[in-house]
Amino acid sequence: MENTVLVIDDSLTVRKILETSLLRAGFAASSFPDGIPAMQALTEGRIPLPDAIILDIGLPKMDGFAVARALKHQRAFQKAIIIMLSGHDRLIDKLRGRLVGANAYLTKPFQPAKMLEVLCTHLASRDHASLG
């Protein structure tokens, strides 16, 4: 069974790069330009529950911190890996990411191979922990 990844980023270019990289690596991927339509699609069951979420901080209506906080407060998303992806490289943003439940924080510009490496490492850790 393939892992599913939800990409939430307001940049069409970033979404396309991530979707292409994820599909080539064997992941199922869906993407949204903002947190609100992504949350609606999840709650309405229009997309499967993701194993991981790649999440931009600077979204137009519902920022990445709010999305992460909302997801981590729902039981269905407790084990989802959240990778924050942002142009913000400040320590305070990285700390806020951790506080809302992010497993990793990468800055833009990013290398798709590095994103996949971080994603696979966290998924493997989570899967290994759930076996024990």
The owner of tokens 């892992």 is 3
Q: Helices (H) and strands (E) in the chain — how many of each?
A: 5, 5
Q: Is the pLDDT of residue 127 over 80?
A: no
Question: pLDDT, tens digit, for every residue of 26-38?
Answer: 999 999 999 999 9
∠ CA 80-20-86 to the nearest 5 degrees? 55
How many C-beta neighbours within 10 Å does residue 130 have?
8
pTM over 0.75: yes
- Contact (CB, 8 A) for 28 and 6: no
Question: pLDDT, tens digit, for every residue of 61-115?
Answer: 999 999 999 988 888 888 899 999 998 888 999 999 999 999 999 999 999 999 9
> Computed over its alpha carbons, how large is the radius of gyration of the chain?
13
> What domains does the chain contain, in order, with CATH numbers?
4-127 (3.40.50.2300)
Helix (H) or strand (E) holding 101: none
Q: Which pLDDT belongs to residue 73? A: 87
Q: Which pLDDT belongs to residue 12? A: 97
Q: Is the pLDDT of residue 2 over 60?
A: yes
